[in-house]
Amino acid sequence: MDRYVETVLGRIRLRVVGSGPAMLFWPSLLMDGTLWSAQAAHFKDRFQVVLVDPPGHGGSDLLTQPFTFEQCAEVILQIADSLQAGTVHVIGNSWGGMIGGTFAALHPDRIGIAVLMNATASPAGRRQRFEYGLLTRSAQLLGGIRGPLKGPVRDAFLGPTAKRERPEVVATVNELAAKVNIRSGMHAVTSVVPNRPDQRALFGKIRTPVLVVAGAEDKTFPVAETEEMADAIPGARFVVLEQSAHLAALESPEQVNALIDDFLVDQGIRGSG
């Protein structure tokens, strides 16, 4: 069921299924909540699954200016309030992983567990700022992420295993990236890449149970960078998924579901039913 919530970053579309403790999923840049379709199908019998179209993406309001990570954390808080959920489990990929950590650090009384996937706590390096700047300038000229830009997006998001063995995953990435409004998307890219804050000290304040997941084939945030984020979080568990790159939940859904299941059980969380 689609729901809409007014937030500090505009009206946000949610896809809400199931019942039980709230489990919120926030995707990567250029993706919408459907990135987590396999997780929604798996967890909806035990949890209220909330798939977020992040600001400026999918059915959410377009962005008219850059945002801060604190504002994104406020969006999660406002979603939780709209669901009348005292706490939410937060699962995020890339942008969502960064914001999941921000939320856990700033709102410790409102979070259950956090699963931070294919993410970083470090500011963007020179190479990443250059590559994403080139991508957004080219997308402006072409009026969107299409044609020759599909290749760079696929290379940033998907590894050789998915490109070789999972054509449906490649098609999904192409489809979702092509839907992004380029002006709105530029504000998101600017906020998450060149303007990204160094959150390593902030993440040292996290006290909730955290699982950090890296993809062995992830070129955007290589294993060492994601492991550095895990090292910044007290008591965080760190796992590397082989044959997976930057969109692990889409590339390796069964393994991701099993990792989340195991982590929930280890924390004594079983959901309803």
Residue 139 CB partners (closer than 8 Å, separation 6+)? 145, 149, 182, 185, 186
- 178 falls within a domain: no
Nearest by Cα to 22 from 273, 210, 272: 272
pLDDT of residue 135: 59
How confident is the model over 127-153, as a mean pLDDT? 53
% of the chain at pLDDT higher than 90: 76
The 10 Å Cβ neighbour count of residue 10 is 17
Residue 182: predicted pLDDT: 81
Q: Please give the pLDDT value at position 148.
A: 34
What confidence category does residue 40 fall into, taking pLDDT thresholds of 50, 70 and 90? very high
Position 28 scores a pLDDT of: 96
The pLDDT score that the predictor gives to residue 149 is 38
Are 43 and 263 spatial neighbours (Cβ–Cβ below 8 Å)?
no
Domain, as residue range, for 63: 2-123+197-266
For the chain, what is the mean pLDDT? 91
Query: What is the reported pLDDT for 85?
Result: 96
Residue 146 confidence (pLDDT) above 50: no
Distance, in Å, from the CA atom of 208 to the CA atom of 105, rounded to the nearest integer, reads: 9
Residue 190 lies in a domain: no
pLDDT digits (tens, 9 = 90+) for 163-179: 899 999 989 988 888 88
215 in a domain, yes or no?
Answer: yes
Does 145 score more than 80 pLDDT? no
* Residue 32 within any structural domain of the chain: yes
DSSP 270: -
Question: What is the reported pLDDT for 33?
Answer: 98
| pLDDT, mean of residues 138-165 | 65
Q: Which of these ranges, 7-16, 72-81, 157-166, 242-251, has the smallest mean pLDDT?
A: 157-166
pLDDT the model gives residue 138: 47
191-224: per-residue pLDDT in tens? 998 899 999 999 999 999 999 999 999 999 999 9
In a domain, 173, yes or no: no
Return the closest-CA partner of residue 153 out of 220, 212, 210.
Answer: 220
- State the average pLDDT over residues 221-245: 97
Residue 132 has pLDDT above 80, yes or no: no
In a domain, 143, yes or no: no
Does residue 188 form part of some domain? no
In percent, how much of the chain has pLDDT > 70? 90
Tokens standing for 210?
């955290």
Is residue 75 over pLDDT 60?
Answer: yes
Q: Does residue 142 register a pLDDT over 90?
A: no
- The CATH code of the domain that includes 44 is 3.40.50.1820
Residue listed under structure tokens 């949890």? 47
Q: How many domains, the chain? A: 1
153 occurs within a structural domain: no
